[in-house]
Amino acid sequence: MERDRITALAFAIVIISFVLSTVVSLFSLREMALKNMEKLGMELADRIYDTISIELGEPTVVSQTMAHNSFLINLLKDDSLPGDEIASSMQDYLHGIHSGLNYETAFVISEKTRIYYTQSGILKTIQPDHNPRDAWYTSFVDHGRAYELDVDNDEIHHDAWTVFVNARIDDADGTFLGVCGVGMHMTRSQELFYGLESQYHVKIDLVNREGLVQVDTDENRIMHEELTGIDFSASGDYVYQQLSGNRFMISRYMPELDWYLVVRSDGNLDTAQMWNTVLINLLLCVLVLLLMILAVRIIVLRTSALAHASFRDHPTSLLNRRAFEEEKDKLGHSSLPEDFVFVTVDVNGLKTVNDTMGHVAGDELIRGAAENLKKYLGPYGKIYRIGGDEFAAFLTLSGERLEQVLEEMENGISAWSGEKVQSLSVSVGYARSREFPSESILELGRIADERMYAAKEEHYRKTGKDRRRT
């Protein structure tokens, strides 16, 4: 919830800043354009800079959001899950980003296993020391950057030129867990560049610190041609260079990409056309911003849904043992509420039902117990299924009310009848923090278990059944 508020605030600041700066720019653009070509060229380059920043900024935001996602971090740290379950969870998560946000590739690489996960499953196990195609991984990790853009061939899509955004995944302690990100085929950036070049009568390139072309409408120049004459000493400021005739070259470092934008004119600037184009571009930028906000919101919702599912016991819809252990650990590091109650519940006779009537009937018995626990105990706290026929609950209510609720639940369970099983019986034990104020959550659990097993022994004594056979 706190992360959602921070994200909303950050986007609100970006939108307000963008709108205010654009309004000011629009009113001053025409006057500036009439002064001289240099000022007009600077403004033109600024428009192009903003458009490219938005286009390539979205996958940067998405990749960094993935890198800070608690579900992904926990999945990479969890040593208890089998490899196929991790692979399945990774594929579901990455497929949601791939299909929901329309990126050609979404990926995660585990530092521990070096497995390369994609939306299509496991691509390979990378070997940076032996496979030149994997050398980028070591280079990125050694640089220590939070993220970087990398132009490379996409192995999933027949080595198509792709702009990858690689983001570093660290846990709260700073332990490096791996690399994640998204890939956007070069054709998408080329289409954007085609449109800008035809509108503004310019040639646009993105180059790295050595001048090597990273993005260009001509694929033959990508990663092969180096631009010369660029001033790489300036950082953050536009550098204007007058060329022969009415031509000029403007360059500017883009820190969020770690690339340089290079704009070269063909000598045919049209100020009136420029003004109309900027207005259209403004509308497109606003639309892209709105789509980016929507895209990040979809990621947040998708991640929340995946995290929610990982803490649920699907047959009963109750919280599962993983959720139970995590909540118990939290309670172990804080003071328990005065009216806190640790409840343990065990279904009586499940083995007999499974052996005589089949597991379908046994499953019905489990669901019946879960429904009653949810109905009577659910309003006062959290209910967990922690084993085959074992349940637990963390509740907050007074001792008098607890006795009333347990009596109501006992009556409800006694009246329960299913399609295959006609009756239901459970044994209940509990321990209250008010009753044992100095005990830890672990000790309360032990006391609740002792009382539950005592109740179970009493049940079998009254019914005359052998507990070991039921």
Question: What percentage of the chain carries pLDDT values higher than 90?
Answer: 58
**Which residues are bridge partners to 239 per DSSP?**
251
Section 369-374 average pLDDT: 94
Strand ranges for 197-349 from DSSP E: 202-207, 213-215, 239-242, 248-254, 259-265, 312-313, 318-319, 340-347
Strand order in the sheet with 115-118: 121-125, 115-118, 105-110, 176-185, 160-170, 147-154
Longest dimension (CA), the chain: 106
CA distance 206 to 209: 10
- Predicted pLDDT of residue 30: 45
Per-residue pLDDT at 138 exceeds 90: yes
Report pLDDT digits (tens) over 285-323.
677 667 766 766 666 566 555 555 577 888 898 999 999
For the beta carbon of residue 235, count every other beta carbon within 10 angstroms.
9
CA distance 447 to 430: 7
Section 314-333 average pLDDT: 92
Cβ-in-10-Å burial (0-12, 13-18, 19+) of 369 comes to buried
Higher pLDDT, 234 or 355: 355
First-to-last alpha carbon distance for the chain, in angstroms, is 46
Question: What percentage of the chain carries pLDDT values higher than 70?
Answer: 82
- Predicted pLDDT of residue 1: 46
Report pLDDT digits (tens) over 169-179.
999 999 999 99
Report pLDDT digits (tens) over 20-72.
666 666 555 544 444 567 777 888 888 999 999 888 889 999 999 999 999 99
- Predicted pLDDT of residue 7: 56
Q: Which fold has domain 318-469?
A: Alpha-Beta Plaits (3.30.70)
Report whether 333 contacts 397 (CB < 8 A): no
Residues of the chain with CATH 3.30.450.20: 2-187+276-310
Give 226's DSSP letter: B
CA distance 378 to 400: 17
Query: Distances in Å between the alpha carbon of 250 and those of 59, 242, 245, 290, 323?
Result: 25, 9, 15, 29, 56
Section 142-149 average pLDDT: 93
3-state helix, strand, coil in the chain (%, to 5): 50, 20, 25
Q: What is the DSSP string of 134-155?
A: GHHHHHHHHHT-SEEEEEEEET
- Predicted pLDDT of residue 346: 94
CA distance 302 to 424: 38
Residues of the chain with CATH 3.30.70.270: 318-469
Q: 2-187+276-310 sits in which CATH class? A: alpha beta
CA distance 438 to 434: 9
- Predicted pLDDT of residue 462: 86
Pairing of strands 160-170, 147-154: antiparallel
pTM over 0.85: no
- Predicted pLDDT of residue 238: 87
Residues in the chain: 470
Which of helix, strand or coil describes residue 317? coil
Could you tell me which of 262, 218, 228, 304 has the C-alpha nearest to residue 3? Answer: 304
- Predicted pLDDT of residue 310: 75
CA distance 47 to 73: 38
Report pLDDT digits (tens) over 97-134.
999 999 999 999 999 999 999 999 999 999 999 999 99
Average pLDDT, the chain: 86
